[in-house]
Amino acid sequence: MSLNNTSDLAFTSALTQAKLIKERQVTPLELTEMYLDRIAKYDSQVGSFNYVARESAIAEAKSKSAQLEQTLDTSHLPPFFGVPIAIKDLKSVAGMPISYGISTLKEQIATYDEGVVSKIKQAGFIILGKTATSQLGSFPYTEPEGFAPTRNPWNLDYTPGGSSGGSSAAVAAGFCAIALGGDAGGSIRGPAACCGLVGIKPSRGRISFAPVGDRLSGLGTHGIVTRTVADAAAFLDLATGYITGDPYWLEPPEISFLSHTQQSLPALKVGYVTSLLPVGEPAPECQQAVTQIVQRLEAMGHTAVPQAIDLTSLIEPFKIVWSSAVAGSGIPAEVLSPMNQWVLSQSGTAGEYSQAVTQMQLFARQLVSLFTQMDVLVAPTYMHPAIKIGEWQNLSPEATFHKIANWILPCPPFNVTGQPVINIPAGFDANGVPLGVQLIGQPNAEATIITLATQLEQTRLWSQLRPDNFT
């Protein structure tokens, strides 16, 4: 890679950028200024950032560049020293705006760092700003009222997904190599799929929600959007771990997740989804994406077994818990969009919420029991390709909910079970918009899906693909 080619540098992995900094081939300031210049030049087309922290990012980059000059042994620097990162605008960064995708809160300033943000800072990252999200993270497209819609860098007429649409669009467009997101029903995996990226939803309890609660009975988790599996694995290594008072947690792995990108696997029993009731078969492009991944896994020596899964009993309880999250936000109804006002109206009573949680837990027991018969499940990330910007804006809330539920159907079940899932790129649709496939692991088995995803990455080299208009 020539460092004179800023486009190459912009699309280089975060781990490679960290290595280049420690080798003194590029400084944190040069890297940060390059990304800020790209954001200034291109983001008016994409709308990936709600807030660009130019002044603080430059100041931090200058400080780290000076520290680099004075450091004799760079091997002791934090793992991502000087590497820029973007943070989803549902996550609190002290001193930066946090709007939750609500236009009346654009000037609201966060007073604390989330636990995961503290770990990001400790790892040496430089925060470029806050990325766009759907309002309250409620929807799988990123078009909140009062903001410009966030567009897909691969085809600007289409959505990058949601609710981590800004994070995925920023990485896809080369505005950063890595971006923080969150996933309570596919909000990392869906945008990663739409933007041709790696997106990992870790196991429940892997990353702390400190100092707040998640309000979603364990559905939600922080996660990351990257171009490479290794970047996602390395992020999990730094982000994992209990923080005092967490309601659920996992012990850190004995071997780093990053090391599993260098491991091999025995022959696995791989299930793959052919039908998801009550919708049925995915769109042909999405089913073909699964088929191609399965064929590659079989060529590696793994055994594949088709699976038809019935999610009918999950939809209504998930809807109740999802809508209760809007009620639990404490945001007044009058500042919410009509769609979120309708979602709020569906929240029901405390008793109905409790019953819905119990129903989800019973469903989770049934679904996880399937994994006694397989090591990994391969499923489409969405049931059909990305929609156009504004495609559903004239529908009633009820009709929009039906469309949403049918589109994202493969994602929420694994928020309910708490299993680890990684989206990997899986080709393109007829409109040039990426498709994605999920690798779902057994509980607490990120290591398996990270290793398997790495093996698939080596056969496809998706991280080298870039949208034409941003190179």
- Residues involved in catalysis: 88, 163, 187
107: exposed, middle or buried (C-beta count within 10 Å: 0-12, 13-18, 19+)?
A: exposed
Show the CA angle centred on residue 190, arms to residues 188 and 196, nearest 5°: 95
Of the candidates 194, 233, 376, the one whose C-alpha atom is nearest the C-alpha of residue 293 is: 376
Show the DSSP H helices in 23-164 as ranges: 28-46, 54-70, 115-122
CA angle 249, 425, 5 (to 5 degrees): 105
Burial class (CB in 10 A: 0-12, 13-18, 19+), 16: middle
Cα 304 from Cα 44, distance rounded (Å) = 45
Give the DSSP H or E segment for 200: strand 198-201
Which tokens belong to 168?
A: 């995925």
SS3 306: strand
Name the percent of the chain in helix, strand, coil, to the closest 5.
Answer: 45, 15, 40
CB proximity list for 344: less than 8 A, separation 6 or greater: 323, 326, 327, 333, 336
Extract the runs of DSSP E, i.e. beta strands, from 219-302: 221-226, 269-277
Q: How far apart are CA 177 and CA 11, in angstroms?
A: 6
- Report angle CA 314, 315, 317 to the nearest 5 degrees: 70
Q: How many CA atoms lie within 13 A of 271 on its CB side?
A: 20
Show the beta-strand stretches assigned E in 242-318: 269-277, 303-310
Which of the 8 DSSP states describes residue 387?
A: P
- Tokens 């990997």 locate to 424
Check if the beta carbon of residue 234 is closer than 8 Å to that of residue 426.
no
